[in-house]
């Protein structure tokens, strides 16, 4: 490992101290480092500070300090370059960021020894049909919803131009398996192992008892035609990037050509994280 790039949520408690420990480790181990420009107020390393989107050009590995939101932002910054990403949890729920700040030096030592695994995670690409803007990319999910208006919207789902069904709901979540434990799960979607490449479509508060989540293969090209009145609907990517969708417009969603490479360790399995973070599968305890 010759270089690391550090992205951090500066609002998280202990962010400055944790970044400082990483910088100290890098200096001691003769590893070059560079910092996201958001860290400029905290550290006087002007020659090592770059815009987030430029960090992958100057570092071999990207380290995300914060919660899952910071990790999703890091994945978007890396994009097609494919730099491995390590998530460090600074005190939030952190399903994607399972390593804690207490273990930073030991974790970096392991990475330097190449004692880790790389997990490839599927990414979704999305755009409004006919829009000349570039695709937006999501590691977790693409959400189409009614915005802040208390009104149902109509959405018509197509798979490779074949009509599938219509939804009358607050919105629709199109999720990867990585995102199956996020908003999709909260809306009644299934838990999918992250090594499975699928697209999960889950309605948000559908106005019918017959509407259920549906799982498509990674090869499908989905289109959602939106009908709404008075105000635009919203297209939101990973809960961080949003664009308005006008009535009659169609949102296109399919598998991206690139994937995200997450650094993982063999002793921490997907199922153990489910049990620890969600208390999944734990037998209820009766009263004593």
Q: Is the pLDDT of residue 210 over 70?
A: yes
pLDDT at 152 over 80: yes
Residues 132 and 247 in one domain: yes
Specify whether 68 is catalytic: yes
Residue 286 counted as domain residue: no
* Residue 286: predicted pLDDT: 60
What integer is the mean pLDDT of 9-23?
90
Model confidence at 82: pLDDT above 80: yes
In a domain, 214, yes or no: yes
Q: Is the pLDDT of residue 249 over 90?
A: yes
Q: What is the pLDDT of residue 43?
A: 82
What is the reported pLDDT for 271? Answer: 85
Taking CA atoms, 115 is separated from 106, 118, 189, in Å, by 11, 10, 34
**105 and 143: one domain?**
no
Residue 285 lies in a domain: no
Tell me, yes or no, whether 11 and 79 share the same domain.
yes
Is residue 164, in this structure, part of any structural domain at all? yes
Residue 122 near residue 176 (C-beta atoms within 8 A): yes
| Catalytic residue (choose from 32, 44, 46, 68) | 68
Q: Does residue 19 sit in the same domain as residue 108?
A: yes
d(CA 287, CA 132): 61
| Model confidence at 287: pLDDT above 60 | no
39 and 131 belong to one structural domain:
no
**Which pLDDT does position 92 carry in this prediction?**
65
Find how far residue 215's CA is from the centre of its chain.
19
- Tell me the mean pLDDT in the region 74-94: 88
Do 149 and 130 belong to one domain?
A: yes
By the 8 A CB rule, do 6 and 36 touch? yes
Pair 59, 173 in one domain: no
**Pair (51, 140) in one structural domain:** no
Residue 271, domain member (yes or no)? yes
Which pLDDT score, from 0 to 100, does residue 41 have? 85
CA distance 279 to 277: 6
Tokens standing for 44? 């006087």
Average pLDDT over residues 206-214: 87
Contact (CB, 8 A) for 125 and 135: yes
Greater model confidence, 283 or 41: 41
User: What's 149's domain CATH number?
Assistant: 2.60.200.30
- Structural domain boundaries, residue 164: 123-258
Which CA distances in Å does 20 have to 27, 44, 117, 264? 11, 12, 26, 23
The larger pLDDT score, comparing residue 38 to residue 279, is at: 38
The confidence score (pLDDT) of residue 181 equals 92
* Residue 146, both tokens: 């009614």
Residue 288 has pLDDT above 60, yes or no: no
C-alpha 222/C-alpha 218 separation (Å) is: 10
Residue 102 corresponds to which tokens in the numbers above?
């207490």
Q: Which CATH number fits the domain that encloses residue 110?
A: 3.40.50.10330
* Residue 288 lies inside a defined structural domain of this protein: no
Most confident of 144-158, 161-175, 264-278: 161-175
102 and 127 together in one domain: no
Residues 161 and 244 grouped into a single domain: yes
Q: What percent of the chain has pLDDT over 70?
A: 96
| 151: confidence class by pLDDT, cuts 50, 70, 90 | confident
pLDDT for the residue 42: 84
Domain contains 283: no
Q: Which residues contact 237 (CB under 8 A, 6 or more apart)?
A: 126, 136, 137, 138, 141, 142, 143
- State mean pLDDT over 207-211: 82
Do 45 and 80 have their domain in common? yes
Domain assignment present for 65: yes
How many domains does the chain fold into? 2
Domain co-membership, 172 together with 112: no
Average pLDDT of span 204-233:
91
């Amino acid at each position: 490992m010759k270089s690391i790039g550090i992205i951090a949520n500066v609002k998280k408690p202990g962010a400055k101290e944790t970044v400082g420990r990483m910088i100290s480790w890098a200096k001691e181990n003769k590893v070059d480092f560079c910092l996201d420009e958001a860290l400029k107020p905290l550290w006087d390393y002007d020659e090592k500070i770059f815009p987030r989107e430029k960090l992958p050009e100057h570092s071999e590995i990207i380290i995300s300090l914060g919660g899952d939101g910071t990790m999703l932002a890091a994945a978007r910054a890396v994009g097609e370059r494919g730099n491995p990403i390590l998530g460090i949890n600074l005190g939030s729920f952190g399903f994607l960021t399972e390593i804690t700040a207490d273990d930073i030096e030991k974790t970096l030592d392991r990475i330097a020894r190449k004692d880790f695994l790389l997990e490839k995670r599927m990414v979704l690409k999305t755009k409004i049909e006919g829009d000349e803007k570039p695709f937006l990319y999501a590691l977790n999910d693409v959400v189409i919803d009614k915005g802040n208006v208390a009104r149902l919207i109509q959405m018509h789902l197509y798979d490779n131009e074949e009509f599938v069904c219509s939804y009358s709901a607050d919105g629709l979540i199109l999720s990867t398996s990585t995102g199956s434990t996020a908003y999709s799960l909260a809306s009644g979607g299934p838990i999918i192992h992250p090594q499975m490449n699928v697209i999960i479509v889950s309605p948000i508060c559908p106005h019918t008892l017959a509407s259920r989540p549906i799982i498509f293969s990674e090869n499908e090209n989905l289109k959602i035609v939106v009908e709404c009145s008075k105000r635009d609907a919203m297209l939101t990517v990973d809960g961080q990037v949003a664009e308005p969708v006008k009535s009659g417009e169609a949102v296109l969603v399919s598998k991206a050509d690139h994937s995200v490479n997450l650094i993982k360790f063999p002793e921490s399995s997907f199922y153990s994280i489910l049990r620890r973070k969600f208390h999944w599968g734990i037998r209820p305890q009766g009263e004593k």
